[in-house]
Amino acid sequence: MKIPQENRQRRKPVNKVKKEVSVPSSEPIRLNKYISNSGVCSRRDADKLIEKGQIKVNGNVITELGFKVNPITDKVNYDGKPLTLEKPIYVLLNKPRGFITTVEDPEGRKTVMELVKTATNHRIYPVGRLDRMTTGLLLFTNDGDLAKKLSHPSGEVKKLYEVTLDKPITDEDYLKVEAGIELEDGIAKPDEMAIVSKDRRALGVQIHIGKNRIVRRIFEAIGYEVVKLDRVMYAGLTKKDIPRGKWRILSEKEIIKLKYLQN
């Protein structure tokens, strides 16, 4: 297994906000999607707003969940304020240690949102999560459809991690992980795995399971501590040209690949 290496010499600048110009389509869309894409809330929460009669379309209260609107000609209001569709934004961060993956933290800890606050004026949120001490690739977007696709278990999105253990892994334990480890929430089996250092402490692990702390739990179950965990590839995206703690906007080609991703 080949572990992608970070490009230490940036060939092009990162953390530059691209000009955001968007022309909405006149194709009718469901009202809950319009509300979600305007940055108010998720589609599920948008349905609740509709059911409570808190949404108006062209001055009329709408409570029908399947109601469709024309993004160009219809006027949608929530709480007396007009809603407008946001341009879809896709931001890729190379997350450093010490930041939690959440939009807000009541305990006042550092969140990943601090690292991408200059990426766009639109509301974006992380797709999935990395725990506080895990580093590497984290995607942010306001595209609810894509976020749902990438986060849902049926998507089987592949992630590649570089794992550093507290001690060399034995042949016996390597074969155990390769065959699958039984955890409290089921069998966890990597898609691919390889030892990538002479001291047998560093491994490359490719996995599509999206369960919480899955890589750490696999090795903890057989007596190893993961001292360093770095996500070096996510859904075909790599850390090339993104130094630790920095971000970049995805290219149009990358966005298309994500939307039509097939594993």
- The three-state secondary structure class of 30 is strand
Question: What are the distances in angstroms from CA 63 to CA 7, 29, 33, 37, 42?
Answer: 52, 16, 14, 19, 17
Tokens of 120: 């766009």
Please answer whether residues 230 and 96 qualify as being in contact, where contact means their C-beta atoms are separated by less than 8 angstroms.
no
Q: Alpha-carbon distance 89 to 147, whole Å?
A: 11
Residues labelled catalytic: 131
Q: Which residue has the tokens 């999935």?
A: 128
CA 177, 139, 84: angle at the middle one, nearest 5? Answer: 150
124 burial via Cβ count (<10 Å: 0-12, 13-18, 19+): buried
DSSP labels for 180-249? -EEETTEEE--SEEEE-STTS-EEEEEE----TTHHHHHHHTTT--EEEEEEEEETTEE-TT--TT-EEE
